Amino acid sequence: MSGGNGNATNGDGGFSFPKGPVMPKITTGAAKRGNGGVCHDDSGPTVNVSTIDELHSLQKKRSAPTTPINQGGAAAFAAVSEEERQKIQLQSISASLASLTRESGPKVVRGDPAEKKADGSTTPAYAHGQHHSIFSPATGAVSDSSLKFTHVLYNLSPAELYEQAIKYEKGSFITSNGALATLSGAKTGRAPRDKRVVRDATTEDELWWGKGSPNIEMDEHTFMVNRERAVDYLNSLDKVFVNDQYLNWDPENRIKVRIVSARAYHSLFMHNMCIRPTQEELESFGTPDFTIYNAGQFPCNRYTHYMTSSTSVDLNLARREMVILGTQYAGEMKKGLFSVMHYLMPKRRILSLHSGCNMGKDGDVALFFGLSGTGKTTLSTDHNRYLIGDDEHCWTETGVSNIEGGCYAKCVDLSREKEPDIWNAIKFGTVLENVVFDEHTREVDYTDKSVTENTRAAYPIEFIPNAKIPCVGPHPKNVILLACDAFGVLPPVSKLNLAQTMYHFISGYTALVAGTEDGIKEPTATFSACFGAAFIMLHPTKYAAMLAEKMKSQGATAWLVNTGWSGGSYGVGNRIKLAYTRKIIDAIHSGSLLKANYKKTEIFGFEIPTEIEVVG
Ligand SMILES: Nc1ncnc2c1ncn2[C@@H]1O[C@H](COP(=O)(O)OP(=O)(O)OP(=O)(O)O)[C@@H](O)[C@H]1O
Ligand SMILES: O=C([O-])CC(=O)C(=O)O
Ligand SMILES: [Ca+2]
Ligand SMILES: [Mn+2]
pLDDT digits (tens, 9 = 90+) for 573-605: 788 999 999 999 999 999 999 999 998 887 778
222 lines ligand 1 (CB under 6 A): no
Q: What one-character DSSP code corresponds to residue 265?
A: H
Contact assessment for residue 531 and residue 370, using Cβ atoms and an 8 Å cutoff: yes
**What is the model's pLDDT at position 572?**
73
Residue 387 has pLDDT above 60, yes or no: yes
Rounded to the nearest 5°, which phi and psi values hold at 600? -90, 135
Q: Which atom of ligand 1 is nearest to the CA of 578?
A: 1
For 387, the enclosing helix (H) or strand (E) is strand 386-389
> What pLDDT score does 28 carry?
53
Taking the CA of residue 535 as reference, the ligand 2 atom at the shortest distance is 9
The one-letter amino acid at 597: N
Residue 616 has pLDDT above 70, yes or no: no
Q: Tell me, what DSSP letter sits at residue 587? A: H
Per-residue pLDDT tens for 284-299?
Answer: 999 999 999 999 999 9
- Whether 161 shows a pLDDT value over 80: the answer reads yes
Non-local CB neighbours of 119 within 8 Å, separated by 6+ positions: none
Ligand 2 pocket residue status of 408, Cβ below 6 Å = yes
Assigned CATH class of 185-348: alpha beta
pLDDT on residue 321:
98
432 within 8 A of 442, measured Cβ to Cβ:
no
Q: Which of 335, 338, 378 to mutate to test the pocket of ligand 1 (most atoms within 8 A of CB)?
A: 378
Judge if the beta carbon of residue 335 lies within 6 A of ligand 2. yes
195 lines ligand 2 (CB under 6 A): no
Question: What's the pLDDT score for residue 48?
Answer: 87
Q: Give the torsion through C-alpha atoms of 299, 344, 273, 448, to 10 deg.
A: 60
pLDDT attached to residue 10: 42
Place 56 in a pLDDT band, splitting at 50, 70 and 90: confident
Give the contacts of 402 (CB within 8 A, at least 6 positions apart). Answer: 248, 249, 357, 388, 389, 392, 393, 461, 471, 472
Q: Which atom of ligand 2 is nearest to the CA of 335?
A: 1
Which pTM was predicted? 0.88
Tell me the C-alpha distance between 2 and 21, whole Å. Answer: 11
- Give the three-class secondary structure for 487: coil
Residues with CB in 5 Å of ion ligand 4: 391
Alpha-carbon gap, residue 441 to 451, rounded angstroms = 19
Choose between 608 and 572: higher pLDDT: 608
Contact 468, 418 (CB under 8 A): no
Greatest Cα pair distance in the chain: 101
Q: Which ligand is nearest to the CA of 392?
A: 4
561 lines ligand 1 (CB under 6 A): no
Instruction: Report yes or no: 543 and 549 within 8 Å, Cβ to Cβ.
Output: no
Distance 505 CA to ligand 4 centre (A): 15
Domain range summary for the chain, segments of one domain joined by +: 75-151, 185-348, 350-404+464-616
Crossing angle for the helix pair 220-236 and 75-97, to the nearest 10 degrees: 130
| Nearest Cα residue to atom 5 of ligand 2 | 372
State residue 12's pLDDT score.
46
- Looking at the CA of residue 189, tell me the nearest atom of ligand 2: 3
Mean pLDDT, rounded, of the chain: 87
Distance CA 455, CA 181 (A): 10
Among 483, 487, 513, 481, which Cα is nearest to 567's? 487
Residues with Cβ–ion distance below 5 A, ligand 3: 377, 391, 408
Is the pLDDT assigned to residue 232 strictly greater than 50?
yes
**Is the beta carbon of 575 within 6 A of some atom in ligand 1?**
yes
Nearest CA to ligand 1 atom 4: 375
510 in contact with ligand 2, CB cutoff 6 A: no
Q: What is the pLDDT of residues 421-437, one digit of tens each?
A: 999 999 999 999 999 99
Predicted local confidence at residue 513, as pLDDT: 60
* Residue 473 C-alpha from the chain's centroid: 21
Burial class (CB in 10 A: 0-12, 13-18, 19+), 47: exposed
Measured CA to CA in angstroms, residue 446 lies from 308, 410, 416, 431 at distances of: 34, 10, 11, 14
Residue 123's pLDDT band (boundaries 50, 70, 90)? low
* Ligand 2 site-directed mutation target among 188, 332, 334, 335, most atoms within 8 Å of CB: 335
pLDDT in tens, 543-556: 999 999 999 999 99
Which atom of ligand 1 lies at the shortest distance from residue 409's CA? 17
Q: Is the CB of 516 under 6 A from ligand 1?
A: yes
Residue nearest to atom 7 of ligand 2 (CA): 372
State the ipTM, two decimals: 0.98
> Which residue has the least CA distance to atom 3 on ligand 2?
331
Position in ligand 2 atom list of the atom nearest CA 454 = 3
By the 10 Å C-beta count (0-12 exposed, 13-18 middle, 19+ buried), 304 is classed as middle
Q: How far apart are CA 358 and CA 239, in angstroms?
A: 40
Examine the pLDDT at 569 and tell me if it is beyond 80.
no
**Per-residue 3-state assignment (H helix, E strand, C coil) for 215-258:** CCEECHHHHHHHHHHHHHHHHHCCEEEEEEEEECCCHHHCEEEE
Question: Given this model, what pLDDT does residue 554 score?
Answer: 98
* Helix (H) / strand (E) containing 437: strand 436-437
Task: Decide if pLDDT at 510 tops 90.
Answer: no
182 ligand 1 Cβ < 6 A = no
State which of 353, 377, 576, 583 you would mutate to test the pocket of ligand 1, scoring each by most atoms of that ligand within 8 A of its C-beta: 377
Candidate from 27-41, 46-60, 229-243, 265-279 with smallest mean pLDDT: 27-41
End-to-end CA distance of the chain: 73
* For residues 267-278, average pLDDT: 98
Q: How far apart (Å, rounded) are the C-alpha atoms in residues 462 and 471?
A: 10
- Asked if 505 contacts 544 with a C-beta cutoff of 8 angstroms, the reply is yes
Over range 442-468, report the average pLDDT.
98
Sequence-ordered list of residues with C-beta below 8 angstroms from that of 309, at least 6 positions apart, any chain:
191, 193, 194, 300, 302, 326
User: Is 542 near ligand 1, meaning CB less than 6 Å away?
Assistant: no
Mean pLDDT, residues 254-281: 98
Cα–Cα distances in angstroms (integers) from residue 120 to residues 58, 123, 382, 463, in the given order = 15, 9, 53, 40
**Which residues, in sequence order, are bridge partners of residue 218?**
198
Beta strands in 341-383 (DSSP E): 351-359, 365-369
> Under CATH, which number does the domain 350-404+464-616 receive?
3.90.228.20
Q: Is residue 526 lining ligand 1, measured as CB closer than 6 Å?
A: no
In the prediction, which pLDDT does 390 show?
Answer: 98
The residue among 614, 350, 374, 360 whose CA lies nearest residue 480 is 374
Question: Residue 157 and residue 535: Cα distance in Å, rounded?
Answer: 30
Peptide bond into 540 cis (omega under 30): no
The pLDDT value recorded for residue 250 is 98
What pLDDT score does 526 carry?
81
Report the candidate in 385, 401, 395, 403 with the shortest Cα–Cα distance to residue 473.
401
Catalytic residues: 190, 335, 354, 372, 376-377, 391, 456
Please give the Cα distance from 21 to 8 (Å, whole number).
15
Contact 132, 152 (CB under 8 A): no
Question: Are the C-beta atoms of 270 and 305 separated by less than 8 Å?
Answer: no
Ligand 3 centroid – CA 376 distance (Å): 6
Pick from 339, 392, 407, 410 the residue to mutate for probing ligand 1's pocket: most ligand atoms within 8 Å of its CB: 410
Average pLDDT score over residue span 50-63: 88
Residue 129 CB-density burial (10 A; 0-12 exposed, 13-18 middle, 19+ buried): middle
570, pLDDT greater than 80: no
Does 349 score more than 60 pLDDT?
A: yes
What is the pLDDT confidence band of residue 182, given thresholds at 50, 70 and 90? very high
Least Cα distance to 441 among 177, 137, 161 occurs for 177
- 431 close to 458: Cβ distance less than 8 angstroms: yes
Q: What confidence tier does 119 reach under pLDDT thresholds 50, 70, 90? A: low
Residue 70: its pLDDT value, please? 45
Ligand 2 centroid to residue 410 C-alpha, Å: 9
For residue 124, the model assigns a pLDDT of: 52
Atom in ligand 2 nearest the alpha carbon of residue 408: 6
Q: Is the pLDDT of residue 489 over 90?
A: no
Same CATH topology for 185-348 and 350-404+464-616: the answer is no
